[in-house]
């Protein structure tokens, strides 16, 4: 069912792009949204508008836009948070750890030496000194400048 919107998909629901407070950048074929359950401050996801579950199901144009938005996500996170590293990843399928099956998305996670990422696994808790709303307010203006460059 590639390309079909499925009821209940968290990535198909939000694209009332101007209304969703977690979306920090919207483009024609994809958007960038803060992860509601982040591993670190600034944990972003790049999501195609179209409901597709694999890279092979993307059009060349969608793949290009997702690549550009992932690149801009790296730039925005670097400017906003000065991370010591960034994880970029895609989990395809349940066995690979995909939390949302059937709708591909790219995780872009800023990292620091000694960060508390282990808390999610060991303590079943997340440690975030910044609210999602604050993260969005910090990142949106940076994405706006990146879009016009």
Which tens digits make up the pLDDT trace of 80-89? Answer: 999 999 999 9
Q: For residue 49, indicate whether it is catalytic.
A: no
| All structural domains of the chain with their residue ranges | 23-132
Residue 120 has pLDDT above 80, yes or no: no
pLDDT at residue 5, as a whole number: 47
49, 51, 105, 107: which is the annotated catalytic residue? 105
**Worst-scoring range by mean pLDDT, 25-29, 128-132, 143-147?**
128-132
CA distance 61 to 78: 26
Mean pLDDT along residues 111-122: 65
- Residue 100: pLDDT band (50, 70, 90) is confident
Residue 47 in 3-state DSSP? strand
Residue 123 has pLDDT above 90, yes or no: no
CATH of 23-132, one of 3.90.1170.10, 3.30.428.10, 3.30.420.40, 3.40.50.300: 3.30.428.10
What average pLDDT is seen over the chain? 85
pLDDT at residue 19, as a whole number: 72
Bridge partners, 85 (sequence order): 111
Mean pLDDT along residues 13-22: 68
pLDDT at residue 124, as a whole number: 52
- pLDDT tens for 19-71 read 788 999 999 999 999 998 888 899 999 999 999 999 999 999 999 999 999 99
The tokens describing 28, both together, are: 């024609």
DSSP 105: -
pLDDT at residue 126, as a whole number: 53
- Residue 101: pLDDT band (50, 70, 90) is confident
The answer to whether 67 and 104 have CB atoms below 8 angstroms apart is no
Q: What is the pTM of this model?
A: 0.84
Residue with tokens 């920090």: 24
pLDDT at residue 17, as a whole number: 55
């Amino acid at each position: 069912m590639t390309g079909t919107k499925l009821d209940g998909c968290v990535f198909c629901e939000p694209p009332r792009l101007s209304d969703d407070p977690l979306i920090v950048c919207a483009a024609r074929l994809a958007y960038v949204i803060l992860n509601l359950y982040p591993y670190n401050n600034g944990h972003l996801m790049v999501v195609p508008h179209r409901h597709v579950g694999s890279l092979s199901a993307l059009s060349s144009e969608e793949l290009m836009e997702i690549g550009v938005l992932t690149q801009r996500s790296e730039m925005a996170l670097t400017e906003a948070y000065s991370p010591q590293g960034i994880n970029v990843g895609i989990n395809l399928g349940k066995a690979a750890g995909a939390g949302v099956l059937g709708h591909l998305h790219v995780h872009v996670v800023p990292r620091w030496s000694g960060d508390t990422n282990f808390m999610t696994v060991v303590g079943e808790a997340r440690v975030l000194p910044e609210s999602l709303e604050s993260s969005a307010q910090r990142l949106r203006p940076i994405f706006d400048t990146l879009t016009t460059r």
